[in-house]
């Protein structure tokens, strides 16, 4: 079964059209990367697919593992294994990382008819996953993302991804503002979790994360559509030549 | 609707002689003064945002001196906090010795019902706050506590006041007097509970000696058909500490007035408040902290959660006298509105006459953070559960500051129940 199939997706926010007929197909086990200049609609795509209410879908179809993704609530998507690592992880004062993950893990388990885990069981899971992202478990006592640095917040996202073990992982600009060590933690998480049953979509402006993660496909997004697709060599061309040639091509087409 | 004049007489009742003989003269002056002041109305500045019409519309009559004996041990058991060591229980203003437990009180703690105890010094009658004046005239009973110098009471003392609208609409005037000697320490809970339609009008006066420390938890969990007005007046000697935690959940109209007089250097007053209201409830907190002398500190931390068409009023006044240098006074009021029809009036008032002081105040009113809601939903938590989690997070900051584990658990359970039943009504 195809993991994710996006067909002719049109979406807008506050009346402004952002996505203008986007197509994308991801098979299980694949790692895809969408690159594009600022304002091309990359983050809009990630939010629309995760079910953010501020975005209006005007047209198109999205099928996720045989289900109509756009007909599902945000929490239903998550329960079916769809995961978005946020570009700007949200701070939630007063809710500890522990409470947050407990609510999340148990909501998903309950959905699948599994017994809820108590604090003890959860700690076992957390201890194992914390090693992968080099996370200090004591930080889970603190409020979600509150007072964490940009890099630490992204690490928290990777920890959540490792704990929830989703089928479809979408990483929205996970690399922005990260130093090399943090970048390696992200790459290590994605590479370790790589499996024939799991797919990953990396959305980024820069090529540098791809020095550590080798994608199967690279797509270039421009003005709300995928305008070019290829292998990892496409990323190198973008790194060397920038986005200018894409824009020129597009303008010529118009 | 009855006339204002008649209302005044309705509240004063027919009987002139009420309560112990030592209080008669004082009551008579209070009756006279109440007649002059009259019943408060919405055109008075202090009642501008809290129209007392809901109270007057009850046409509550003074609770019968003999009381009703409806309160059962089962209900008292439900009202008791897990870590309460001693309790004094009152039903419609009448002391219920049979439901109270005072055994094994430490030496140096003198605790008794005000009406049947030693004559007490209640101070001057209230001159301007009409419902307190009415209480001066009409109180039936309450608790008198005196803790001798240096006596530290470890266990928790809980006062339980219940209102009962079964068989009439009583006005229950409760009066408490708490006096801590130098270096004395006390942990106290004041619980207001009830059922049906009634009006609680309580006054608690506190006198803290030098270095004394009072930890006070005020639980206003009245019936939602009832009205509640209460006054908490504290006078603090040098280096004394007051921490009062106020949980305000019940009542159709509930107004709490807190007046702190910092008259001894180095005294500290911490005032926490959490009001959680829904439907057409109104919750009002009027706080005045009077920094009369140098080097005192005060912190007001008040939060509100308002749903449906409920209303909140917060008026926090800090007065710093000219001589009160090195004052550190802080005040915060944060409100969370869960519906477009909920409304809050928040009025910070700083009157500072000294020049070397630190005073800070802040007030915010907002809605649940939509980004945080989406973040939770994107992790599989449904909207209702996500809202609950964020509500708890908002309330938790104050719950965490409650003085004991048992009190925290009780408050958490109560809020959980409250949010849950509010949801069920909404569905």
**Confidence check: pLDDT of A224 > 80:** yes
pLDDT tens digits for B8-36? 989 998 766 678 999 999 999 999 999 99
Question: What are the boundaries of each domain within chain A?
Answer: 4-253
Give chain B's count of helices (H) and strands (E).
8, 20
Interface with chain A: mutation pick from B378, B383, B392, highest number of A CBs within 10 Å: B378
Residue indicated by tokens 């029809």:
B341
Q: Which residues of chain A have a CB within 8 Å of the CB of B397? A: 93-94
Give the Cα separation of A131 and B154 in Å (integer). Answer: 45
**Confidence check: pLDDT of B72 > 50:** yes
What does pLDDT average to over chain B?
Answer: 93
Query: In terms of Cα–Cα distance, which of A129, A140, A158, A151 is closest to A95?
Result: A140
Q: Is A82 exposed, middle or buried (0-12, 13-18, 19+ CB in 10 A)?
A: buried
Q: Chain B: nearest CA to A219, how far in angstroms?
A: 25
Query: Whats the size of chain B, residue-wise?
Result: 427
Terminal Cα-to-Cα distance of chain B (whole angstroms): 36
Number of domains in chain B: 2
Q: Which residues touch B73 (CB under 8 Å, ≥6 apart)?
A: B99
Give yes or no: residues B240 and B352 share one domain: yes
**Confidence check: pLDDT of B243 > 80:** yes
Residue A115's H or E segment, with its range, is none
What ipTM is given for this predicted complex?
Answer: 0.96
Dihedral sign for Cα B190, B196, B197, B198, please.
negative
What does pLDDT average to over chain A?
Answer: 93
Query: Whats the size of chain A, residue-wise?
Result: 254
B9 close to A (CB below 8 A) = no
Terminal Cα-to-Cα distance of chain A (whole angstroms): 36
SS3 call for A146: coil
Task: Tell me which residue in B369, B377, B397 faces A75 most closely, judged by beta carbons.
Answer: B377
Residue B331 main-chain phi, psi, to 5 deg? -145, 130
3-state secondary structure A157-213: HHHHHHHHCCCEEEEECCCCCCCHHHHHHHHHHHHHHCCCCCEEEEEECCCHHHHCC
pLDDT at B35: 95
Determine the residue of chain B that is closest to A95 in CA distance.
B393
Judged by CB atoms within 8 Å, which residues 13-52 of A form the interface with B?
A: 50-52
Beta bridge partner(s), residue B258: B232, B287
Confidence of residue B112 (pLDDT cuts 50, 70, 90): very high
- Among B368, B386, B419, the domain boundary falls at B368
Q: Chain B: nearest CA to A6, how far in angstroms?
A: 19
Query: In terms of Cα–Cα distance, which of B273, B286, B146 is closest to B214?
Result: B146
Determine the residue of chain A that is closest to B399 in CA distance.
A94
- Do the chains contact at A50 and B378, CB–CB below 8 Å? yes
Task: Tell me which residue in B369, B379, B394 faces A78 most closely, judged by beta carbons.
Answer: B379
Give yes or no: residues B196 and B246 share one domain: yes
pLDDT at B172: 96
Q: What is the mean pLDDT of residues A49-60?
A: 95
Task: Tell me which residue in A84, A95, A111 faces B389 most closely, judged by beta carbons.
Answer: A95
Any idea what DSSP says for residue B243?
E
Q: Which residues of chain B have a CB within 8 Å of the CB of A108? A: 380
Task: Tell me which residue in A50, A75, A143 faces B382 most closely, judged by beta carbons.
Answer: A75
Domain housing B255: 4-368
Q: Which residue has the higher pLDDT, B69 or B153?
A: B153
**Confidence check: pLDDT of B160 > 50:** yes
pLDDT tens digits for B260-272? 999 999 999 999 9
- Among B337, B368, B399, the domain boundary falls at B368
**Confidence check: pLDDT of B3 > 90:** no
pLDDT at B4: 67
Cα atoms found within 13 Å of the Cα of residue B121, Cβ hemisphere only: 5
pLDDT at B65: 66
B381 close to A (CB below 8 A) = yes
Going from the C-alpha of B338 to that of each of A120, B94, B332, B370, the distances in angstroms are 34, 39, 20, 12
- Do the chains contact at A100 and B369, CB–CB below 8 Å? no
Stretch among A54-58, B35-39, B384-388 having the lowest mean pLDDT: B384-388
Give the Cα separation of B315 and B321 in Å (integer). Answer: 19
Q: How many CB atoms sit inside 10 A of residue B379's CB?
A: 23
**Confidence check: pLDDT of B2 > 70:** no
Give yes or no: residues B266 and B405 share one domain: no
Q: Calculate the CA dihedral of residues B410, B416, B421, B426 and round it to 10 degrees.
A: 150
Q: Which residues of chain A have a CB within 8 Å of the CB of B389? A: 95, 99-100, 103
Beta strands at B213-220 and B185-195: parallel, antiparallel or unpaired? parallel
pLDDT at B17: 64
Q: For residue B339, what are its two tokens?
A: 């519906």
- Do the chains contact at A75 and B381, CB–CB below 8 Å? yes
Q: What is the mean pLDDT of residues A44-69?
A: 96
pLDDT tens digits for B320-345? 999 999 999 999 999 999 999 999 99
Interface with chain B: mutation pick from A47, A52, A74, A84, highest number of B CBs within 10 Å: A74
CA of residue B171 relative to chain centroid, distance: 17
pLDDT at A241: 85
pLDDT at B136: 97
**Confidence check: pLDDT of A107 > 50:** yes
- Do the chains contact at A86 and B375, CB–CB below 8 Å? yes
CA of residue B323 relative to chain centroid, distance: 30
Give yes or no: residues B154 and B219 share one domain: yes
Going from the C-alpha of A176 to that of each of A130, A211, A219, B178, the distances in angstroms are 22, 15, 19, 60
- Identify the CATH homologous superfamily for domain A4-253: P-loop containing nucleotide triphosphate hydrolases (3.40.50.300)
- Among B368, B383, B415, the domain boundary falls at B368
Q: Give CA angle at A44 (A42, A49), nearest 5°.
A: 105
3-state secondary structure B2-54: CCHHHHHHHHHCCCCCCCCHHHHHHHHHHHHHHHHHCCCCCCCHHHCCCCCHH
Confidence of residue B6 (pLDDT cuts 50, 70, 90): confident
A74 close to B (CB below 8 A) = yes
pLDDT at A62: 98
Stretch among A152-156, A194-198, A232-236 having the lowest mean pLDDT: A232-236
**Confidence check: pLDDT of B427 > 60:** no
pLDDT tens digits for B353-368? 999 999 999 999 999 9
Q: Where are the beta strands (DSSP E) in chain A?
A: 4-13, 16-26, 31-35, 55-64, 67-68, 82-85, 92-96, 143-144, 168-172, 199-204, 217-222, 225-230
pLDDT at A205: 85
**Confidence check: pLDDT of A254 > 70:** no
Q: At what angle do helices A119-133 and A180-193 cross, to 10 degrees?
A: 120
Q: What is the mean pLDDT of residues B175-197?
A: 97
Give yes or no: residues B423 and B283 share one domain: no
Judged by CB atoms within 8 Å, which residues 165-184 of A form the interface with B?
A: none
Confidence of residue A59 (pLDDT cuts 50, 70, 90): very high
B376 close to A (CB below 8 A) = yes
Q: Which residues of chain A have a CB within 8 Å of the CB of B376? A: 92, 100, 103-104
């Amino acid at each position: 079964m195809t993991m994710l199939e996006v067909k002719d997706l049109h979406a807008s926010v506050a009346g402004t059209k952002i996505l203008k007929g986007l197509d994308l197909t991801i098979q299980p086990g694949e790692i895809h990367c969408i690159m594009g200049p600022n304002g091309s609609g990359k983050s809009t795509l990630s939010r629309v697919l995760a079910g953010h209410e501020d975005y209006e879908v005007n047209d198109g179809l999205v099928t996720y593992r045989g289900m109509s993704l756009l007909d599902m609530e945000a929490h239903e998507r998550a329960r079916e294994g769809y995961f978005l690592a946020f570009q700007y992880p949200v701070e939630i004062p007063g809710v500890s990382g522990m409470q947050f993950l407990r609510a999340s893990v148990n909501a998903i388990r309950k959905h699948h008819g599994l017994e809820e885990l108590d604090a003890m069981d959860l700690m076992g899971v957390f201890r194992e996953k914390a090693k992968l992202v080099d996370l200090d478990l004591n930080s889970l006592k603190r409020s979600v993302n509150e007072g964490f640095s940009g890099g630490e917040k992204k690490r928290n996202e990777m920890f959540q991804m490792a704990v929830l073990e989703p089928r479809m992982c979408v990483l929205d600009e996970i690399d922005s503002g990260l130093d090399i060590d943090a970048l390696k933690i992200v790459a290590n998480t994605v590479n370790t979790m790589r499996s024939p049953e799991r797919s990953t979509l990396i959305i980024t402006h820069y090529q540098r994360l791809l020095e550590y993660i080798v994608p199967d496909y690279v797509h270039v997004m421009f003005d709300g559509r995928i305008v070019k697709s290829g292998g990892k060599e496409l990323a190198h061309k973008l790194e060397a030549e920038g986005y200018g040639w894409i824009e020129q091509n597009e303008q010529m087409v118009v | 609707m009855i006339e204002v004049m008649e209302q005044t007489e309705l509240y004063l009742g027919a009987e002139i002689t009420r309560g112990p003989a030592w209080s008669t003269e004082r009551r008579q002056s209070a009756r006279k003064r109440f007649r002059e002041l009259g019943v408060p109305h919405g055109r008075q500045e202090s009642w501008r945002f809290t129209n007392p019409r809901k109270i007057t519309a009850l046409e509550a009559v003074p609770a019968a001196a003999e009381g009703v004996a409806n309160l059962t041990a089962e209900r008292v058991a439900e009202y008791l906090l897990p870590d309460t060591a001693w309790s004094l229980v009152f039903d419609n203003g009448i002391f219920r010795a049979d439901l109270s437990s005072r055994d094994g009180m430490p030496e140096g703690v003198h605790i008794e019902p005000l009406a049947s105890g030693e004559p007490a010094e209640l101070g001057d009658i209230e001159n301007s706050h009409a419902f307190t004046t009415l209480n001066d005239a009409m109180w039936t009973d309450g608790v008198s506590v005196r803790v001798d110098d240096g006596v530290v009471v470890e266990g928790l003392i809980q006062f339980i006041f219940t209102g009962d609208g079964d068989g009439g609409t009583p006005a229950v005037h409760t009066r408490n007097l708490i006096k801590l000697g130098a270096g004395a320490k006390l942990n106290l809970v004041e619980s207001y509970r009830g059922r049906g339609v009634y009006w609680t009008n309580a006054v608690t006066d506190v006198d803290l000696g030098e270095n004394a420390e009072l930890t006070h938890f005020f639980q206003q969990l009245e019936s939602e058909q009832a009205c509640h007005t209460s006054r908490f007046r504290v006078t603090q000697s040098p280096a004394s500490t007051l921490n009062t935690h106020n949980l305000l959940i019940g009542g159709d109209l509930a107004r709490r007035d807190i007046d702190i007089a910092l008259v001894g250097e180095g005294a500290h007053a911490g005032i926490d408040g959490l009001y959680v209201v829904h439907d057409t409830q109104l919750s009002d907190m009027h706080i005045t902290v009077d920094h009369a002398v140098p080097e005192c500190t005060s912190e007001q931390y008040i939060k509100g959660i308002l749903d449906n068409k409920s209303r909140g009023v917060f008026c926090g006044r800090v007065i710093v006298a000219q001589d009160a240098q090195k004052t550190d006074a802080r005040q915060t009021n944060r409100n969370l509105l869960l519906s477009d029809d909920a409304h809050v009036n928040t009025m910070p008032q700083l009157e500072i006459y000294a020049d070397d002081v630190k005073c800070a105040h802040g007030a915010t009113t907002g809605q649940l953070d939509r980004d945080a809601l989406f973040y939770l939903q994107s992790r599989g938590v449904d909207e209702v559960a996500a809202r609950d989690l964020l509500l708890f997070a908002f309330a938790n900051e104050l719950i965490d500051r409650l003085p004991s584990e048992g009190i925290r658990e009780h408050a958490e359970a109560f809020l959980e129940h409250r949010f849950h039943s509010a949801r069920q009504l909404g569905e």
